[in-house]
A and B are shown apart, each in its own frame.
Chain A
Amino acid sequence: MTILLQAVINGLLIGGVYALAAMGVSLMFGIMKLINFAHGEFIMLGMYIAVVFTGVGIPAGLLGIYWVVIPTMVVTAGVGALFYVALLDRAARFGESPQILLTIGLSIGGIGLAQVVAGSDFKLPPNPVNGASLALGDITFQVGPGIAFLLAVAMAIWMAWMLKRTRFGKNARAVAESRETAEMLGVNAHHVFLVTTTISIALAGLAGALVIPYHYTYPSVGEDFVVMAFLAVVIAGLGNVLGSVLGGLLLGCIQSLTATYFDIDLSTAAIYVLFLAVLLLRPEGLFTAARRTV
Chain B
Amino acid sequence: MTGSIVGSRLSRRRFGMLSGVALSSGLLPARLSAQEPINLAVIGPMNGSNAVGGEMVVRASKLAVEDVNAAGGIHALNGAKLNLIIADSTDNAQGAITTTERVLSQQKIAGVFGLVISPLTAAAIPALIKHRVSVITASTADSLVTPANGGYLFMIGPTGSALGRVAVDFVRASNTAKTTNVTKAAILYINNAYGQSAQKGVEKLVRESGIDVVLNSAYPENMTDASPLVTKVARSGADVLFPLSDVTDAGLILTALHSARSKVLVFGAGSGFTWPPIGQSLGEKVNGLFGAAAWNWDMKNVVSDPKLVNVTTRYEKVYGGYMPEQAGEAYGAMWMFALAMEKTASADSEKLRDALATMKVTSGYPTIIQPGLVEFGANGANPNVKAVMIQWQGGKPRTVFPPELATHQILTPH
Contact = CB atoms under 8 A, between A and B. Distances in A.
Interface of A: 3, 6-7, 10-11, 13-14, 17, 111-112, 115, 119-127, 130-133, 135, 140, 142-143, 145, 214-216, 218-221, 223-225, 227-228, 252, 255-260, 263-265, 267-268
A34 to B, nearest CB: 25
Given A122-B247, A122-B248, 9 more contacts: A3-B234, A10-B228, A17-B224, A115-B46, A119-B55, A130-B281, A256-B227, A264-B229, A265-B219
Contacts of A17: 224
A124 B251 contact: yes
A260 B232 contact: yes
Nearest to A225: B224
A257 B284 CA distance: 32
Given A111-B47, A135-B261, A223 B228 contact: no
A214 B260 CA distance: 14
B191 interface: yes
A51 to B, nearest CB: 11
Contacts of A223: 222
Contact of B47 (A112, A125, A225, A252): A112
A201 B284 CA distance: 34
Nearest to B248: A216
Contacts of B228: 7, 10-11, 255-260, 264, 267
B91 A131 contact: no
A263 B91 CA distance: 25
A10 B231 contact: yes
B259 A140 contact: yes
Given A10-B231, A131-B285, A145-B225, A126 B91 contact: no
13 contacts: A3-B231, A3-B234, A120-B46, A121-B55, A123-B280, A126-B281, A131-B255, A131-B282, A216-B251, A221-B49, A223-B222, A224-B224, A265-B220
Interface string B243-286: 00001100110111111110000000000000011001111110
Contact of A140 (B51, B225, B261): B261
A13 to B, nearest CB: 8
Contact of A10 (B47, B54, B222, B225): B225
Interface in B41-61: 46-49, 51-52, 54-55
Contacts of B254: 131
Contacts of A268: 220
A11 B229 CA distance: 12
B50 to A, nearest CB: 9
A263 B259 contact: no
A63 to B, nearest CB: 15
Contacts, number: 141
A257 B52 CA distance: 32
Contacts of A135: 261
B113 to A, nearest CB: 17
B1 interface: no
A120 B231 contact: no
A14 B232 CA distance: 16
A265 B256 contact: no
A115 B231 contact: no
A142 B256 CA distance: 8
B217 interface: yes
A120 B261 contact: no
B235 interface: yes
A127 B280 CA distance: 10
Contacts of A3: 231, 234-235
Given A223-B222, A264-B218, A10 B282 contact: no
